[in-house]
Amino acid sequence: MRLKLTRFKESNLFWPLCILLVLLVINGFLTRGFFSIQWKDGRLTGILVDILNRSTYIGIIAIGLTLVIATGGIDISVGSVVAISGAIAAFLIGGELVMRGSEQILVTRTPMGIAIFIALVASTLIGMWNGFLVARFRIQPIVATLVLMVAGRGIAQLITNGQIITIYYAPYYFIGNGSILGIPFSLYVLATVLILVTLITRKTALGLFIESIGVNRTASNYSGIKEQRIVFWTYAFCSFCAGISGLLVCSNVKSADGNNAGDMFELDAIFAVIIGGTSLNGGKFRLGGAVLGAIIIQTLTTMIYSIGVPPQVNLVIKSIVVFAVSMIQSEYFQSLFRMERPVSLRRNYYL
């Protein structure tokens, strides 16, 4: 039993889970009925359900982003991809009132399946562009993805023509609002992506290769790993995930806003990945941790909202949490905590 506890403690899901538990307990005290879940209109409702539902937007992105970060890179264009994906779907679907027979029904401009398909393809193409710059031309990831972060919103607005496109097509609402067996559909999407990616990375050599590339790209290349190809596809997949998230978001609010959709998503997603236990330097990655990180962020947001503080204060709290977590994770702090001689400021240079 003791051995199991120690192993669990050392497993990298320990700290994120602890943080989440602490947050949940605090919430439990602050909000009456925080933990209550009810069944209404054929679906589960409650604050907890709400948190899980909303955390999927960042959570799905965080899964793709984890793989990118694990290769030693980063993708800051995901927020813009969310906007573009939603914009494409909204543009293609639109929704107008049309007379069919003697009824007035809402019709979509393009078959919904095709609209979704195109949105996802576009998102993936953006990722392939990023991947091409990083893998083939060896451009620094933050610089390469900066291009689309900046231009992407312009493109999204171009598609929506600067307006907010409202979608008038009920079937589409299901993606962001529907539920199966009472559980929100978005959770199914998140779970599917998480399970698929976990299986693919752990049951094949892909996970090992990605970690290897993150630790030492040259050595991985010399060991016969097709490093360029793998890096390329991680960026493509990450944007694909952002595309999925974009569809969920736009469906949830039944509209696409080229300017504001996905605002600051990249920052939240990166934060989720880090809190989940993957290092920004690359190497070992934790998919489950990233999803936990996304849930933590959402719990934090909800907590602030529910205690009646203006939602903007959310930002201050988030920043304090980021600082606190980073400080605690830092070596300097760890050495203070263990009451050893504080690690010399210069130590980290000579590892």
Partner 1 sequence: MNKKTLPFFITLGLFLLMYAAGSLAYPNFFSLQVFINLFIDNAFLGIAAVGMTFVILSGGIDLSVGSVVALTTMISADLLQREWSPAVVIPAVLLLTSLFGTFQGIMIQVFRIQPFIATLAGMFFARGACYLISIDTINIDNEWYRSVSMAAIELPTGDFISINVFIFILLALIGWWLLKFTRFGRTVYAIGGSEQSAMLMGLPVTRTKILIYTLNGFCSGLAGVVFTFYMLSGYALHCKDLHLDAIAAVVMGGTLLTGGVGSVEGSIIGVLILGTIQTIINFQGTLSSWWTRIMVGVLIFAFIFMQSLLNRPTKQTQ
Partner 2 sequence: MQDESAALLSMQNISKYFPGVRALSKINFSLFPGEIHALMGQYGAGKSTLIKIMTGVYQPDEGDMYFQGQKFHVESPEHAQNMGIATVYQEVNLCPNLTVAENLLLGREPRSFMGIRWKTLLSESQRIIKEKLELDLDPTRPLGSYSIAIQQMVAIARALCVRSTVLILDEPTSSIDETEVERLFSILRKLKQEGLAILFITHFINQVYEISDKITVLRNGEYVGTARTKDLPKINLISMMVGKNPEEIVDTEVHKNVKINEGSQQEILCTSGLGRNGYLKPLDLSLYKGEVLGLAGLLGSGRTETAKLLFAAERAMEGSVYWYGKQVYPQSPSDTISLGMGFCPEDRKTEGLLGDLSVRENIILALQAKRGILNYLQRKNQEEIANRLIAELGIITPGTEQPVKNLSGGNQQKVLLARWLATNPEVLILDEPTRGIDVGAKGEILQRILSLRDTGFAIVFISSELEEVVAISDRVAVFRDKKKVAEIQGDEIAEHTIMQLIAQGE
Site residues (vs partner 2, CB under 8 A): 203-206, 208-209, 211-212, 215-216, 218-226, 283-284, 344, 346, 350
- Where do we find the tokens 């989720």? 272
Nearest to 66 by CA among 231, 213, 276: 276
The interface with partner 1 within residues 171-200 (CB under 8 A) comprises none
CA distances from 272 to 44, 66, 89, 210, 278 (A): 26, 9, 27, 19, 9
Which listed option, partner 1, partner 2, none, makes contact with residue 348 (CB within 5 to 8 Å by class)?
A: partner 1
* 128 φ, ψ (degrees, to nearest 5): -70, -35
Residues 59, 272 contacting (CB under 8 angstroms): yes
Sole binder of partner 1 in the list 4, 99, 312, 340 (CB under 8 A): 312
Query: Interface with partner 1 includes 152 (CB under 8 A)?
Result: yes
Pick the closer one to partner 2 by CB: 151 or 280.
280
| Rounded alpha-carbon distances, angstroms, from residue 173 to 55, 115, 170, 249, 335 | 18, 14, 5, 10, 51
In the bound state with partner 2, the residue whose beta carbon lies nearer, of 178 and 283, is: 283
138 contacts partner 1 (rule: CB under 8 A): yes
Binds partner 1 (CB under 8 A): choice among 26, 139, 206, 215? 139
Query: Which residues ranging from 232 to 251 are in contact with partner 1 (CB under 8 A)?
Result: none
Phi-psi region of 261 (alpha: psi -120 to 50; beta: other; left: phi over 0): beta
Q: At residue 10, what is the residue type?
A: E
Nearer to partner 2, 182 or 283 (CB): 283
Q: Which residues ranging from 260 to 299 are in contact with partner 1 (CB under 8 A)?
A: 267, 270-271, 274, 280
- Residue 218 site contact among partner 1, partner 2, none (CB < 5 to 8 Å, cut-off depends on kind): partner 2
Residue tagged 């630790």 (tokens): 215
Residues, the chain, total? 351
Binding site for partner 1 (CB under 8 A): 74, 137-140, 142-144, 146-155, 157-158, 161-162, 258, 267, 270-271, 274, 280, 310, 312-320, 322-323, 326-327, 330-333, 345-346, 348-349
